[in-house]
Amino acid sequence: MITKERALSIVNGFKDRKILVIGDLILDRYLWGDVERISPEAPVPVVEVREETVNPGGASNVGWNIASLGAETYIAGVIGEDHNGELLENLLREKNIIPLTVKDQNRPTTEKTRIIAVSQQLLRIDRESKNRLSPEVSKRLVEMVKPVVDRVDAIVVSDYGKGVITAEVMDFLKGSGKPVFVDPKPSNFGLYKGITIMTPNRKEAYQCVKADREEAVEEVGRRIMEELGIDTLLITLGKEGMALFEGDRVVRIPARAKKVFDVTGAGDTVVAVLTLARLSGANWLEAASLSNYAAGYVVGEIGTASLTPDRLVALVPE
Quick one: pLDDT band at residue 262, thresholds 50, 70, 90? low
Quick one: pLDDT band at residue 255, thresholds 50, 70, 90? confident
| Tens-place pLDDT, residues 71-125 | 999 999 999 999 999 999 999 999 999 999 999 999 999 999 999 998 788 999 9
Looking at residue 264, what is its pLDDT?
A: 65
Please check the confidence at residue 261 and state whether its pLDDT lies above 60.
Answer: no
Question: pTM value?
Answer: 0.93
- The three-state secondary structure class of 111 is strand
Q: Which of 231, 248, 268, 310 is catalytic?
A: 268
Could you tell me which of 271, 22, 19 has the C-alpha nearest to residue 152? Answer: 19
The domains located in the chain, with CATH, are 4-26+57-109+129-315 (3.40.1190.20)
The answer to whether 183 is a known catalytic residue is no
> What whole-number percentage of the chain has pLDDT above 70?
96
Backbone CA torsion sign across 70, 303, 199, 188 = negative
Q: What's the first-to-final CA gap in the chain, in angstroms?
A: 12
Looking at residue 50, what is its pLDDT?
A: 94
Say if strands 25-38 and 110-117 run parallel, antiparallel, or are unpaired: parallel
Could you tell me which of 143, 23, 132, 142 has the C-alpha nearest to residue 75? Answer: 23
Could you tell me which of 267, 240, 244 has the C-alpha nearest to residue 254? Answer: 240
Could you tell me which of 279, 261, 272 has the C-alpha nearest to residue 294? Answer: 272
Quick one: pLDDT band at residue 303, thresholds 50, 70, 90? low
